[in-house]
A and B are shown apart, each in its own frame.
Chain A
Amino acid sequence: MNSGPIIETRDLRKTYRVGKVDVPALRGVDLTVKPGQFLAIVGPSGSGKSTLFHIIGGLTPPTSGEVRVAGQDLAAMTEAGRTRLRKRTVAFVFQKFNLLPNLTARDNIAIARHIGGFDSKPEESFEEVLRLLGIANRLDHKPSELSGGEQQRVAIARAIVNHPAILLADEPTGNLDSESSKAVLEILRGLNERLGQTILMITHNPEAAAYGHYIVHMRDGKIIERPS
């Protein structure tokens, strides 16, 4: 964890235009994340957590400010550049799992490989990850045949199959019962500890946030409390 930051934002601002009204979502966010950190971001609805994620994940450009992810300047990046970023550098785990409903778990993972420009079949070493996730024997089922916990574990497998530098988890336990939530959080912590996976996790849940190395609090588009 002594190397340079993998995520760095300076005075990051994002303003959405809603009708004729400008709505500021981020009002100058400075954030630094080093490789291998597991950071939890907490805050009330409308605090700008998701917008920050979307910018770091290349889903939307910032209005102003600097944002560098894995050495790449996202503020200057085109749509095509941000698309390339999502192929291999950042990956998402969503609250609603967001698996493709028509594909099996195996194919959901394979399509991420395919889009990432890899052979659709994951490396043999990934079998071990699937066993760790506890879904090795559930891969031929479609999402509708899997429990919420299993779907989220498939989503995690899909997210890390291309070895992204950063895993962005947006309320990953928001739709899960407490037992499944704990299992998913243990998995995320395991990925961070065993594989050195950098993880940023948005959560409302203080217990979930406690799994991170650090907790950042946001409110009204700003970071109001950060680890010292």
Chain B
Amino acid sequence: MTAKLVLENLKHKPMRSLLSILLIGVPVTLILCLVGLSHGFLEDSQRRTRGIGADVVVRPKGTSYLTLSGAPIPQQMVGLLAGHPHVKLAMGVVNYPVQGVTLGATGVDLKQFDQMSGGFTYLHGGPFQGPDDVIIDQFYADEQHAHVGDRISLLNKPWRVCGIIEGGKLAHIVFPLGVLQEKTSSTGNVSQIYLKLDDPANTAAVVQGLKNLLPDYPIFSIAEFTSLINVNNIPALKEFIIVIMAIGVIIGFAVVCLSMYMAVLQRTREIGILKSLGASQFFILRIILTEAVILGIGGTILGIAMSFGAWWLIRTVEPASIPMVIVPSWWPIAGVVTLIGSAFGALYPGISAARHDTIEALAYE
């Protein structure tokens, strides 16, 4: 009976109910989009790293697993590492940010890359034909509406799209190694070196051997390197998500508090009627809290639905630059955060309603 009363109350003012649900849903969408973007970037990075087919990565001195600064490793080291025991193939690449931190290009020796990874899967076109050629993946091609043969502007210069590849390997944008080295003033240097071993079972031994040989260089197995690419290891990202969640709680709290306060004012007389029938303060409080929780659940569901809308929009407009994913494991977290905000938001109006003087409430017009 309580649920029926609450539902009838919600139906009685549908615009208020829908607006409340919408406003509660916005921070849910905000949280889910932020988490989706974080996971999307990291998963995309992990997938492309695994797609290289290497077993070990050698990073420049003084860099973490997330940052790269130019191409400081002498290219001669590629040959040196190629001669290391159990190393079947060594490949140096140059990484260069094209669009801030969200989109990077990689310079690579295609022949070596083909040997290491099995090569790109070309959806259209093929490998480099000349020094002005660029290979892009399908996401970047969709984002730029580019086709094979089109010219796109990158690094302050027009490039001919020679091939469009399936995404998930190395980078969204691929240049010939020498060309990118020259263009970024890093001729003779590489950003990092990938190693393919004769047997992956030798990975730990090779990593240890290389650490002894090159103590100043961060050296990781690819499994370890990709496992380090997670939310907890991105500086301040976790704290940023917590701040956004706190904002979500505050918005949910404020929306529900305002909405329920108005509802309590509008229903003063009805609260008086219920109390005249013998409804306890707890009964009145329970009605208000139940209504807030239903609004919170509605807001959560709408927020999840709107995150799908944001996901679709981002995939349509910026599929390469912003690789957002849907993270269902965060739905209950966003839901709990919202419900906590909603329940706390309803407390003051609920307690206020429960404490209404019955006679005054019955006289309320």
Contact = CB atoms under 8 A, between A and B. Distances in A.
B362 A98 contact: yes
A103 B273 CA distance: 13
Which of B272, B277, B358 lies at the interface centre, i.e. has the most chain A CB atoms within 10 A of its CB? B277
B278 A88 contact: yes
A192 interface: no
B278 A115 contact: yes
Interface in A56-94: 57, 59-60, 79-80, 83-88, 91-92, 94
Contacts of A80: 280
Contacts of B230: none
A114 B286 CA distance: 14
B358 A102 contact: no
Which of B4, B272, B276, B362 lies at the interface centre, i.e. has the most chain A CB atoms within 10 A of its CB? B276
Given A111-B277, A116-B278, A102 B12 contact: yes
A120 B3 CA distance: 13
A115 B359 contact: no
B95 to A, nearest CB: 63
B196 interface: no
A102 B9 contact: yes
Which of B269, B274, B280 lies at the interface centre, i.e. has the most chain A CB atoms within 10 A of its CB? B280
Q: Size band of the A side of the interface?
A: 20 to 34
B5 A83 contact: no
Given A54-B359, A86-B277, A120-B1, A115 B8 contact: no
A110 interface: yes
B273 A84 contact: no
Given A59-B358, A59-B359, A83-B280, A115 B274 contact: yes
B88 interface: no
Contact of B2 (A83, A100, A114, A116): A114
Contacts of A24: none
A98 B364 CA distance: 11
A40 interface: no
B11 interface: yes
A39 interface: no
Interface string B286-329: 00000000000000000000000000000000000000000000
Given A98-B269, A98-B362, A110-B1, A103 B8 contact: yes
Contacts, number: 69
Contacts of B275: 83, 86
Contacts of A150: none
Interface in B258-280: 269-270, 272-280
A107 B6 CA distance: 12
A77 B279 CA distance: 16
Contact of A100 (B273, B280, B283): B273
A207 B277 CA distance: 29
A98 B276 contact: yes
B363 to A, nearest CB: 10
Contacts of A91: 277
A98 to B, nearest CB: 5
Contact of B270 (A79, A101, A115): A101
Nearest to B278: A87
B278 A83 contact: yes
Contact of A86 (B12, B276, B362): B276
Interface string B1-37: 1101100110110000000000000000000000000
18 contacts: A57-B276, A59-B276, A59-B358, A60-B358, A80-B280, A83-B281, A86-B276, A98-B269, A98-B273, A98-B276, A100-B270, A100-B274, A102-B9, A111-B5, A111-B274, A111-B277, A114-B1, A158-B277
Interface of A: 54, 57, 59-60, 79-80, 83-88, 91-92, 94, 98-103, 107, 110-112, 114-116, 120, 158
Given A98-B269, A107-B1, A115-B274, 19 more contacts: A54-B359, A59-B358, A83-B275, A83-B281, A85-B278, A86-B278, A98-B362, A99-B273, A100-B5, A100-B270, A100-B273, A101-B270, A102-B12, A102-B270, A107-B8, A111-B1, A111-B277, A116-B278, A120-B1
**What are the 9 closest A-B residue pairs judged by CB atoms, nearest first?**
A87-B278, A86-B278, A114-B1, A102-B8, A102-B12, A98-B273, A120-B1, A59-B358, A115-B277
